[in-house]
Structure 1
Amino acid sequence: MNEAPAQASDNSEKFWLASYPSSVPPEIPALSYRSLGELFESCCVEYLPRVAFSSMGREMTYRELEVETRKVGAWLQAQGLEKGDRVAVMMPNVLQNPVVTYAILRAGFVVVNVNPLYTPRELEHQLKDAGAKAIFVLENFAHTVQQVAAEVGLRHIVVTAMGDMLGMKGHIVNLVVRKVKKLVPAWSIPSAIPFKKVLTEGSHLPLKPVDIDSNDVAFLQYTGGTTGVSKGAALTHANLIANKMQISMWLEAAFENRPRPEVLTFVCALPLYHIFALTVNSLMGVAMGGHNILIANPRDIPAFVKELQKHKVHVFPGLNTLFNAMMNNADFGKIDFSSLILALGGGMAVQRPVAERWQALTGTAITEGYGLSETSPVATANRFDTQEFTGMIGLPLPSTEISIRDEDGKPLPLGEVGEICIRGPQVMAGYWQRPDETAKVMTDDGFFRSGDMGYMDERGYTKIVDRKKDMILVSGFNVYPNEVEEVAAMHPGVLECAAVGVPDPHSGEAVKLFVVKKDPALTEHDVREHCAANLTGYKRPRLIEFRNELPKSNVGKILRRELRG
């Protein structure tokens, strides 16, 4: 090819389709279901005897899942809630989470996913903004709900305990959680309803059919607030069904090199309230009749590794920090990864040193994908039949367009860095009750402005270089923190690192690098020498600070903004 094609716009050819696996079509077909509830019910009938979710040794089949969601959905309808009312779910990865989530969807309501570690201030904002009428909360976090209950207008507060769906073993689990580990702070909500009472009452009630349109809102998925106040991305049934279809079609290429198992087993370590796990684990897992191994606390790496030793897993979605932490556990080598077909990296950039080490230890490459809460979430992914780490975020999924644009919203030539903009059936309906904020991120021709900076190459692969606001400007030169961090992470003495811009009287900004040591003997001089050998002058860290740990979100994403402050 003598001349690179112009960046994709309305009328330009989707040249990236030439890079697609032969098994993946360019477009998804018409949606075969009008709602997620309809999709769920169909899957439960098809996969009745299979295990859908397991937690702490307890397995729940699709048959049981259908029965339990029917009870909860019927109970919710009996409380006088109306179609489209918002119901919050504030739980980690326990069996109650998918049960409640699918019950809400089947009953015609909207799921509001809540991070259980939210402070009262954060929780109050989200519940008020969503106008939530009810909440299901794990008792470990009921004290937070207690502090805001009077302010947010909740009509129903359902409290569940860790062991509520674990059978006889549940009594022991609850005792250990409450009395031995003391993980349940004191709380008092007089109007609270025990989850088991909901199941009992719901078993005597009918689940009434609800006419749900594919354009009705299914989830309010709140953004992390990294670009300002936390906003609810209104994701429709069509958005999520489309993204499930896109990922499922993309997955076909993974079976080019490895045989397709009869039942796919997923590791579900990322929290289900996060859009990545919600779509890739829960929605796609259920749609394919898969088995999701729920990990309630992935931060307990020793327990997590021990749990994985009991299973043969096929699909492992994770973050760079999770993969890195696992490999630094002494028992990691005891996990049998011979069945692993796909390790999916998302949420943050996967660093090459981490990816290369993972492949050496497991025999499977980490395949990066990219998306946001606003895109349900997956917009691009590397080919699933690849056996190498690319350092790119991949190709647009079927029915998806990526356009790299300048500050004025004009498409840029291939190879030039601009804002990554996304158009496709997975793009949200808008921010909940925020037409002003929606207008800021949507272009006139229907592209969502991601706020991430990147470029597209002549094959159609996109490379993300950073968020706009994370970019560091040193004497007029752009420095992307991801590049600095990736280089620093290559040093064998570095466990984790993060780069931020700090004010500098001479260059406007300078690069500051925060480092967590893997080797206690690592010195500032060692880091400087390593960076000097791999980075041009203006990109090198001017300041280096050692820390025992770096601030992270509950998903495990390093929070640069806290280091900056």
Structure 2
Amino acid sequence: MPNLLDPITRHAARADDAVALRTETGPWTYTALEQKCLRYAGMLRNGGIFAGDRVLLLAPSSPEFVVAYMGIQAIGAVVVPVNTMSTAEEIEYYITDSGAALVVGRHELGPAAADAATTVGIAYRALEPGGDCTAEPIADVADLEPDATAAILYTSGTTGKPKGAQLSVGNLLAAGEIGSAAAGSTSIDRVGTGLPLFHVFGQASVMMAAFTSGGSLSLLSRFTPDGMIDMMRRDELTVMCGVPTMWNAMLHSAGDADAADFAHLRVAVSGGASLPGEIARAFEARFGCTILEGYGLTETTALGTFNDIERGGKIGYTGSAVPRLQVEVRDPEGAPCPAGTVGEIYIKGDTVMKGYWNRPDATAAVSTEDGWFRTGDLGEFDDEGDLRIVDRLKDLIIRGGYNVYPGEVEEVLYQHPDIVEAAVVGVPDDHYGEEVAAVITRKPGSDLTESEVTEWSRKKLSAYKVPRIVRFVEQLPKGSTGKILKRNIDRDELRAANA
């Protein structure tokens, strides 16, 4: 019977000196990591936490996160990793919705977690540096059914309250196996990321994949472009994972970094949002590094499609379905679309979630009777079977009866030499229904004007796709992974500015 600790246990038995985690103070072997996880499990069990109990975890991407996460798994409890920037009110919601029995948090994150636990009336335990505890290690790691819930990950809650996606033991083990195979990883690989491990990308596609292959994992608790490059140099990374804004930040703020710094890098993986082609091309030109893009969601344990590592990246595409998954593009009636036709993306396979925690209606709304998950994303396949993500279905702009895909407009904006980041959204309009608006950050010192942005777009896009509303900002709103949050852009403010 499986447990998420199995890959760590397997590699601890393989070699006493096999490195699991690389830190600023030195490496942790798989053997040392396993013992820390088992001691942490012993501490939890001594505190009255047992199989099936939910444990809320707030911690940055760090060795301590791994210890707590895997310690929770070792006793068969359910980990509920939440955003480290959550307020006390948000944490209270996660506690009550999941029915958590314990909150575990790092003290440097502030009092929100402890305060929320006190308000709800459950225990709080500080996560100590190094994940150390003095409890006896458990001798009996929980044997779990593959469909037992291992983790509950709360979605962003773009409409209504966040929903908890239940990822099973089988989902997460499969994600590790598929991710490792897709990247061609082995035990000699050195994987690194600045992604938060509480997010599905860092948790499933990076952490689980690294431990499955038996390679080492390097973690940056707070992403900065210089910090990421310094970690890459220090640990001689062979695999690096990030979201588009991370690659863009390294491109624009990497100081004296050049292709030599990326010499050890074998695979660069991008996910979490569509990677603008201009960023991919500029990154390869500067650093000699091809970024391979993939696609997945929390509900599919971060997996769906990935570019073939042997064939290399195809800019603008996220590749074909990964092993053990099926991916289809369907029309509004549910029929498969031919190549070159945009439709909604459906996914089926070993990493599709069990369902939303205590939300049968929400689960039914995104599930078909034969096991397909409706993603709510729009895409199209090309003749080679590679998927291009067009946009979120809910982000589609309909201007005067014409469909405008924000990603297509953003791709054009990123080609402008003075534009660093761009987000395109629909703004209510009395005449056209919606108007196209672009919110942009400029390069430092640029005097780019709104009219110049509109004129640039007019040369490259059909008239109905051209942004009529242009606003410059110092910084676009971003989530914990660095993903641009379009839902946080004030449409009413943009509309008023255009009045």
Relative to the length of structure 1, the TM-score reads: 0.83
Using the TM superposition, give the Cα deviation of residue 335 of structure 1 relative to its aligned residue in structure 2, in angstroms: 6.2
Q: Runs of 5+ in structure 1 lacking a partner?
A: 1-32, 166-194, 253-259
AA aligned opposite 1:301: P
Using the TM superposition, give the Cα deviation of residue 469 of structure 1 relative to its aligned residue in structure 2, in angstroms: 0.9
Question: Aligned pair 1:314/2:238, yes or no?
Answer: yes
Using the TM superposition, give the Cα deviation of residue 363 of structure 1 relative to its aligned residue in structure 2, in angstroms: 1.6
Using the TM superposition, give the Cα deviation of residue 74 of structure 1 relative to its aligned residue in structure 2, in angstroms: 1.0
SS at 1:263's partner residue? Answer: coil
Note closer, same or farther for the CA distance 1:47–1:362 as it changes in structure 2 (3 Å cut).
farther
Distance 2:159 2:338 in 1: 27
* Partner of residue 168, structure 2: 236
* Partner of residue 325, structure 1: 249
AA aligned opposite 2:127: T
* Partner of residue 526, structure 1: 452
AA aligned opposite 1:379: G
Given candidates 144, 160, 171, the residue that maps to 2:112 is 144
Distance 1:211 1:148 in 2: 32
* Partner of residue 495, structure 2: none
44-53 or 477-486: bigger deviation:
44-53
Distance 2:325 2:450 in 1: 45
SS at 2:162's partner residue? Answer: coil
Contact kept in structure 2, 1:305 and 1:335, CA below 8 Å = no
Question: Number of residue pairs matched?
Answer: 489
Using the TM superposition, give the Cα deviation of residue 367 of structure 1 relative to its aligned residue in structure 2, in angstroms: 0.7
SS at 1:521's partner residue? Answer: coil
> CA deviation digits over 1:43-90, x for unaligned, max 9?
222243122112333321111101111110111112222211111210
RMSD after superposition: 1.8
Distance 1:444 1:93 in 2: 37
Given candidates 376, 389, 404, the residue that maps to 1:451 is 376
Question: Aligned pair 1:462/2:429, yes or no?
Answer: no
* Partner of residue 486, structure 2: 560
43-52 or 545-554: bigger deviation:
43-52
Contact kept in structure 2, 1:138 and 1:160, CA below 8 Å = yes
Note closer, same or farther for the CA distance 1:464–1:228 as it changes in structure 2 (3 Å cut).
farther
Distance 1:218 1:47 in 2: 27
Note closer, same or farther for the CA distance 1:421–1:262 as it changes in structure 2 (3 Å cut).
closer
AA aligned opposite 1:467: R
* Partner of residue 357, structure 2: 432
Distance 1:422 1:273 in 2: 23
> CA deviation digits over 1:298-325, x for unaligned, max 9?
0x33333333332311111111100011
> CA deviation digits over 1:309-368, x for unaligned, max 9?
323111111111000111112233386111111111100010011100111122221111
Using the TM superposition, give the Cα deviation of residue 111 of structure 1 relative to its aligned residue in structure 2, in angstroms: 1.0
Q: Runs of 5+ in structure 2 lacking a partner?
A: 492-499
Superposed, 1:497-508 pairs within 5 Å as: 497-508=422-433
* Partner of residue 267, structure 1: 192
Given candidates 159, 162, 178, the residue that maps to 2:126 is 159
Contact kept in structure 1, 2:55 and 2:102, CA below 8 Å = yes
Distance 2:222 2:340 in 1: 41
Note closer, same or farther for the CA distance 1:455–1:206 as it changes in structure 2 (3 Å cut).
closer
412-421 or 353-362: bigger deviation:
412-421
* Partner of residue 3, structure 2: 35
Note closer, same or farther for the CA distance 1:302–1:40 as it changes in structure 2 (3 Å cut).
closer
Contact kept in structure 2, 1:400 and 1:424, CA below 8 Å = yes
> Matched residues, percent identical?
34
* Partner of residue 246, structure 1: 178
Distance 1:225 1:110 in 2: 21
Distance 1:268 1:247 in 2: 14
Question: Aligned pair 1:85/2:17, yes or no?
Answer: no
> Runs (4+) of structure 1 moved beyond 6 Å?
none
Contact kept in structure 2, 1:422 and 1:449, CA below 8 Å = yes
AA aligned opposite 1:491: H
Question: Aligned pair 1:421/2:388, yes or no?
Answer: no
Q: Which structure has more RCO (C-alpha within 8 Å, separation ≥ 6)?
A: 1
Using the TM superposition, give the Cα deviation of residue 459 of structure 1 relative to its aligned residue in structure 2, in angstroms: 2.1
AA aligned opposite 2:325: T
* Partner of residue 27, structure 1: none
SS at 1:367's partner residue? Answer: strand
Using the TM superposition, give the Cα deviation of residue 262 of structure 1 relative to its aligned residue in structure 2, in angstroms: 5.8
Given candidates 202, 213, 217, the residue that maps to 2:145 is 213
Contact kept in structure 1, 2:153 and 2:298, CA below 8 Å = yes
Contact kept in structure 1, 2:50 and 2:77, CA below 8 Å = yes
Note closer, same or farther for the CA distance 1:36–1:378 as it changes in structure 2 (3 Å cut).
same
Question: Aligned pair 1:542/2:468, yes or no?
Answer: yes
* Partner of residue 343, structure 1: 268
AA aligned opposite 2:285: A
Superposed, 1:54-65 pairs within 5 Å as: 54-65=22-33
Contact kept in structure 1, 2:193 and 2:228, CA below 8 Å = no
Contact kept in structure 2, 1:73 and 1:207, CA below 8 Å = no
* Partner of residue 106, structure 1: 74
> CA deviation digits over 1:406-440, x for unaligned, max 9?
33433333322111010001101111111111000
* Partner of residue 421, structure 2: 496
Using the TM superposition, give the Cα deviation of residue 245 of structure 1 relative to its aligned residue in structure 2, in angstroms: 1.9
